[in-house]
A and B are shown apart, each in its own frame.
Chain A
Amino acid sequence: MSILHANEMTVSAANANATETLTGAGFEELKARLAKEQRAIRIRRFTSNKGAVFGLVVVLMVLLLAILAPVICHYDPLALDTVNRLKPMSLAHPFGTDTMGRDVFARVLYGARISLFVGFTVGILSGVLGMVVGLYASTNKLADNILMRICDGLKAIPSTLLAITLMAVLGADIRNVIMALTIVSVPSMARLARGRALVIREQTYIEAMRCLGASKLRIMWKHMAPNIISPIIVQVTFVFASAIISEAALSFLGAGVPAPAPSWGNILNEGKSVIYQAWWIVCFPGAFTALTVLGLNLLGDGIRDFIDPTSEG
């Protein structure tokens, strides 16, 4: 019904315009109306995918909780309160307290900040680096050989182990976590970007640009990059999700974010030793991690279907 209506509007607007000829205000108005319609259609297409909407809502909720942590929860995530150790859930402590009497709810909220920050940074960094490596590899034979061989070598090492090794060598620190996880995820990103770039490079419009004498850099960044960015964006969402998992795993092993800081992995690690006395320390941050990752994966799937409808399974 609504689609029909939208089409009718376009047609009538176009007719009205044809008689008026393309002049000033009428044309501008038509353009604005068309843009508005396009937007409405896009929103409708995105919201028709239930999973994607659910994912987006979950991610936004967690993001909101992380940003508003000091407003929602008045406890300091690092404040010790040894009298109230391992207290179960109550009104004062909705998620209970941990081994040192710290409020688990506060720690989960502030942990969301760390986990999301690490995941987001790793996603963006590996997206950018992957694109740089992929684009240069696709335009330069020598660079291609060297870069892709290094990528093959890095990809042959299972990512968990590579991340653990890097953390062992670099030392437990939030900056190093980001660095290690970026190194782990750049190779497949670069492969993806290179694969797309190799296809784009052969297209006529790039050839035309070359004939016109556009510089290599200009072709690469102004004409090729926009065409390879959409699969990269989708991949960034998935890397975001897997970086959250990896960060939690590394911190859980004691090789991630250093101890007192409340990352989800750290809370889980501390909760593990008292799992028989206090199930809530493990349960809540675990649920948050799983839900956030699920949300990001659903969102990634949704974005992929939205950008490229042919990929729909």
Chain B
Amino acid sequence: MKRFILKRILSMIPVLFIVSVVIFSLVHLVPGDPAAAMLGDMATAEDIAALHARLGLDRPLVQQYFVWISNIFHGDFGDSVANHQTVASMILSHLEPTIHLTILALIIAVLIAIPLGMIAATRKGSVVDHSVTVLSLLGISLPSFLLGLFLILVFAVRFKLLPSSGYVPMRQGFWMHLKSILLPAIALGFMNAAFMMRMTRASLLEVLGSDYIRMAKAKGVREMAIVTVHAFKNTLVTIITVIGQSLVQSLSGAAVVESLFAIPGLGQLMVNSIGRRDYYVIQSIVLLIAVFNVIVNMFVDILYGVVDPRVRVS
């Protein structure tokens, strides 16, 4: 098991390297001079030259990459060009809303999707099964920002139950906090719920068709026990994968949902930075989330090994 975990961790390194190279090159795709683009049309030649020197843009690309990456290992993500703050401090101050939003969205998705998916699989062809199929189709076709807009129309505009924008931090009261992120979390969670439902249903159906389940049935094991004890364990691999993917999905989908609901999280910071041409902020946030994605995938891989001993050997 130890060797398995170590191998997984080591296999992450080349992927991380490539990801960092890709993200580094993105900013250098800027047509023309990135420094000039960042400063806008009003900049003088001296300003541009000064920024050039500060960002080290006059050095060779390979050297720039290594300076950049070694700074990141020291926790230095560079300075924001738009306001005089370090990128790291900006990211830290925008982290909390995004984390809370993502977790709530994930909880909503798991609570809806897994029971419904399981019921749909055990009662194939029933009303629940059909509504699960329709719901999962809707979830795939209804992007989170669109669902968010519809939710605002219904719950904020029509019935005035929940706020349509703004964020109340946890320390100002739990209920207010929950109310402020409930709609965005539903908008964000629904798409993941749809996907999760589909996968849970499909994998449970497959397991329920296998011989050992028939054996358990023949032995007279109650249906409840078959589904929750015998079959569930074998669907865990799928469920773990889907939850891992949903976590990353919610985190990245937060960009759009946060700007819709005016929640001051990472996503909103990123979107606002587009207008300010603050490439270093965008670059750092994307890097962080991509690294997080790779790490989540690694954990999912390791969990496979925990859940299914056969994976450890191969």
Contacts and interface: CB of A to CB of B under 8 A. Distances in A.
Contacts of B234: none
A49 B108 CA distance: 33
B253 interface: yes
Nearest to A241: B141
Interface string B268-292: 0011011101010011011001100
Contacts of A289: 143, 146
A81 B96 CA distance: 44
A166 B290 contact: no
B256 interface: yes
Interface residues of A, number: 44
Given A149-B18, A165-B283, A160 B153 contact: no
B114 to A, nearest CB: 19
Interface in B180-233: 202
Given A154-B22, A170-B31, A253-B256, A293 B141 contact: yes
Contact of A275 (B22, B31, B164, B271): B164
B26 A169 contact: yes
Interface stretch (A23-31, A71-79, A276-284): A276-284
A164 B270 contact: yes
Contacts of A166: 26, 29
A162 B286 contact: yes
Contact of A268 (B146, B157, B248, B286): B146
A167 B152 CA distance: 27
B255 A164 contact: yes
B260 A272 contact: yes
Contact of B271 (A150, A156, A162, A255): A255
Interface string A139-160: 0000000000110111011111
A248 B256 CA distance: 11
Contacts of A298: 137
B19 A153 contact: yes
Given A168-B274, A297-B137, A297-B141, A156 B15 contact: yes
Contacts of A309: none
Nearest to A162: B286
Given A168-B282, A297-B140, A268 B149 contact: yes
A265 to B, nearest CB: 9
B282 A165 contact: yes
A260 interface: no
Nearest to B30: A169
Contacts of B23: 157, 165
Most A CB within 10 A of own CB, among B23, B145, B150: B145
B306 interface: no
Given A157-B293, A169-B26, A294-B141, A152 B15 contact: yes
Given A157-B286, A297-B140, A152 B279 contact: no
Nearest to B248: A158
B18 A152 contact: yes
B249 A164 contact: no
A161 B286 contact: yes
Given A164-B270, A166-B26, A275-B157, A153 B21 contact: yes
Given A153-B19, A254-B274, A294-B137, A158 B26 contact: no
A150 B22 contact: yes
B120 interface: no
A158 B252 contact: yes
Contacts of A161: 252, 255, 270, 285-286, 289-290
A282 B279 contact: no
A157 B290 contact: yes
B259 interface: yes
A195 interface: no
A241 B140 CA distance: 10
Nearest to B143: A245
A158 B290 contact: yes
Nearest to B273: A168
Contacts of B270: 161, 164
Contacts of A276: 157, 164
Contact of B251 (A152, A158, A283): A158
A252 B145 contact: yes
B138 interface: yes
A313 interface: yes
Contacts of A168: 273-274, 277, 279, 282
B27 interface: yes
A108 interface: no
B85 to A, nearest CB: 19
14 contacts: A152-B18, A153-B21, A153-B22, A157-B290, A157-B293, A160-B252, A166-B26, A168-B279, A169-B26, A169-B29, A253-B271, A268-B146, A289-B146, A293-B142
Given A268-B146, A282-B153, 10 more contacts: A157-B22, A158-B290, A161-B252, A164-B274, A165-B286, A249-B145, A252-B260, A275-B157, A286-B149, A297-B137
Interface of A: 149-150, 152-154, 156-162, 164-171, 241, 245, 248-249, 252-255, 268, 271-272, 275-276, 279, 282-283, 286, 289-290, 293-294, 297-298, 313
Smallest CB-CB A-B distances: 4 pairs? A158-B252, A153-B18, A294-B141, A153-B22
